[in-house]
Structure 1
Amino acid sequence: MGLSAPEILSIIELIFFAPAILVSVYVVYKHGHQRQYGWRFLVLICLFRLIAGITQLVSVHHPSSGLTICYDIMNSFGISAIVYAALGLLNRVDHGISQSIIPRRAFALLGLPGLAGVVLCIVGSINVFGGGSNPSEGIAELKAGFVLFSSVYLADVLIAAICFFNIAQVQSGDRRLLLAVAAALPFMTVRVVFSLLCVFAQEPKYFSTWTSGWVAVLVHGLLGILMEAIIVSIFIAAGLTTAPIRNPTTQQKETTLYGPEPVSTKV
């Protein structure tokens, strides 16, 4: 008996993201653990995809609503981690400019849509796949969650454009990060559009992360998982080839994506 389409896609996920998470951990170790610069999100993207792949493999032979919910949530988390990885890299680019173009508080405030989107997607997935009496309410929550993620994506595009207009002021070492975000944006666009089609198009035969038909699985693989793999590869390459920040006094003044980092008093 041959492998099913979901099994094949899950195996491909594991083959790519298992080594990718190890390299991502090294990138985080190289650049430090500052949340505001987005490196941690590389590890999270890989982790979410690994959990999704394992969950999908198990659910093929032992289907349950819990596994379906977990798989759907991991897909939602993946798009969230991608847009915030890009935002973190742009935060570092902007921070390296002598007089920052984007207000520090703006990066912190942009963490709020993502947090709300994550909560909505979790609740929405539970309502859709948990056997509740009102799955349409869950679909509405998923739509709202993906719209919030899309708003952060649009902020990524806007901030990247602003940085490019001021590229002469960007530190030479950080220009590689700006170029990495620019290179990733087209693939991010495809990933975001695919997510929106999954909840708005109402065409599960073509646009779905949970339908097991060959067409839907192929589309999910090409427009969803492949896009994430390419984005992760671009950001990992940028992390490996870019020097870490060496100015701790400047880092202490930084605002993270989810609020201010505590300022250490150690010398």
Structure 2
Amino acid sequence: MALTEQNNISIAQIVIFTPSLFLAILLAIRHGFGRSSGWLFLIIFSLARLIGAALQLATISDPKNIGLHVGAVTLQNIGLSPLIMVQLALIGRTLGSIRKSTTSLVTEKRVHLIHLVTLVGLILGAIGGSNSGSDFQKTGTYKVSTLTQAGTGLMIAAYILLVISTIVVATQISAVEPGEKRLVLAVGLSLPFILIRLAYAAESVFGHNPSFSQLTGDVNIQLGMAVIMEMIVVAICEGIGMTLKKLPKNQAAAPPAADGYQQPWNQREADQELGGYK
């Protein structure tokens, strides 16, 4: 049996995201698996793409298995949220650099709230995809669930908040340490590609254009607006991630003081501060 265009896309995803997964794991080992480091989300994203591609290729031998088709589509839909979470984590690390010398309108707490919005969108998208699959098995017609629409709406809101946060942080770029400024660059470069990916998701969920149908849409549109966009974002994040220095644990975790004064990050800085008063 000849491979379809969709099969070829799935094969390309496996070829690209397999090394991406190992690189994401390497970055997580180096910088931490915590939510604030962001690399865990790249691991989740890469796994979602690999599993989704595997499910789609499995339909070659079992084309009438509705569960395989729906599973691949659901994973395709929820893959957007980890990419947004990665950008939020990079912004959060930049804020850690900024608050050493000044304060910012964007705070870690506010970034965590955007994380929460994205997470809820992810959950709604997953549940909505499952409901659509169940209905498809009963009726033979795939209909986008209202939960999926709600989840996509939250993704749009999270993206807008991410853009605003990035702009605010960019205006304070002079307060960012030299080695950390590339984080803002990574987010800034990623945002246009995420926007195109988000536009594809919004059209497939809210629009009525058959070319954007989640099951039978134009694979060339999917390739150009979704697959390639995701690959570019991952390449940007992992490429810049490999150049980042590893932060000391106390630096990554230390919270800002309530009065705006930043506690010394290590004993040497403490000694230097004390020495200034001698």
Query: Tell me, what secondary structure is at the counterpart of 1:35?
Result: coil
Find the counterpart in structure 2 of residue 140 from structure 1.
146
The letter of the residue matching 1:42 is L
C-alpha contact 1:42 1:232 (8 A) present in aligned 2: yes
Residues in 2 aligned to 1:170 and 1:20: alpha-carbon distance in whole angstroms: 28
Distance 2:247 2:208 in 1: 46
Report the AA paired with residue 146 of structure 1.
T
Match of 1:107 among 111, 118, 131: 111
Structure number with greater Rg is 2
Distance (whole Å) between structure 2 residues aligned to residue 137 and residue 233 of structure 1:
33
Q: Distance in 1 between matches of 2:19 and 2:72?
A: 21
Distance 1:100 1:225 in 2: 38
- CA positional deviation for 1:49: 0.6
* Structure 1 position 67 matched with structure 2 position 72: no
Of 132, 135, 141, the match for 1:131? 135
Q: Which of 90-99 and 47-56 deviates more?
A: 90-99
Matching residue of 1:251: 252
CA RMSD of aligned residues (A): 2.0
TM-score normalised to structure 2 length: 0.84
Q: 1:165 to 1:140 in 2, by over 3 A?
A: same
Give 2:8's aligned residue: 8
In the alignment, residue 113 of structure 1 is paired with which amino acid? V
Shift of 1:100: 4.0
- Correspondence list, 1:11-90, <5 A: 11-62=11-62, 63-90=64-91
From 95, 113, 116, give the equivalent of 2:120.
Answer: 116
Q: Distance in 2 between matches of 1:93 and 1:2?
A: 49
* Contact 2:149-2:206 within 8 A present in 1 as well: yes
- Whether 2:233 is the aligned partner of 1:227: answer no
Q: Which secondary structure state, in structure 2, belongs to the residue aligned with residue 118 of structure 1?
A: helix
Q: Write the deviation string for residues 101-149 of structure 1: whole angstroms up to 9, x where unpaired.
A: 1223212222222222122212211222213679898532211111101
Structure 2 residue runs without a partner (length 5+): 257-278
Matched, 1:208 2:213: yes
How many residues are paired up?
250
- 1:3-56 deviations in whole A, cap 9, x for unaligned? 112111111111111111111111111112221121111111111110110010
Code of the aligned partner of 1:122: A
1:104 partner amino acid = E
How far is the alpha carbon of 1:69 from its aligned partner? 2.7
Task: Give the aligned residue type for 2:194.
Answer: M
Give unmatched runs, 5+ long, in structure 1. 256-267
Q: Give the match for residue 261 of structure 1.
A: none
Secondary structure (helix, strand or coil) at the match of 1:131 reads helix
CA offset at residue 183 of structure 1? 0.6
CA distance in 2, matches of 1:123, 1:34: 25
Distance, in Å, in 1 between the alignment partners of 2:31 and 2:5 is 38
Between the aligned partners of 1:137 and 1:5, the Cα distance in structure 2 is: 23
Work out whether residues 72 and 210 of structure 1, in 8 Å CA contact, stay in contact via their aligned partners in 2: yes
CA spacing shift, 1:136–1:26, aligned 2, 3 Å: closer
Specify the alignment match of 1:264 in structure 2: none
CA contact (8 A) 1:191 1:224 kept: yes
TM-score normalised per structure 1: 0.87
In the alignment, the residues of structure 1 paired with residue 164 and residue 37 of structure 2 have an alpha-carbon distance, to the nearest angstrom, of 17
Counterpart CA distance in 2 for 1:14 and 1:209 is: 20
For 1:27 and 1:104, how far apart are their aligned partners in 2? Answer: 22
Note if 1:181 corresponds to 2:149: no
Contact 2:124 2:150 (8 Å CA) reproduced: yes
CA distance in 1, matches of 2:72, 2:50: 10
**Shift in alpha-carbon separation, 1:38–1:2, aligned structure 2, 3 A:** same
Larger relative contact order, structure 1 or 2 (CA cutoff 8 Å, min sep 6): 1
Structure 2 Cα separation of the partners of residues 254 and 186 of structure 1 = 32
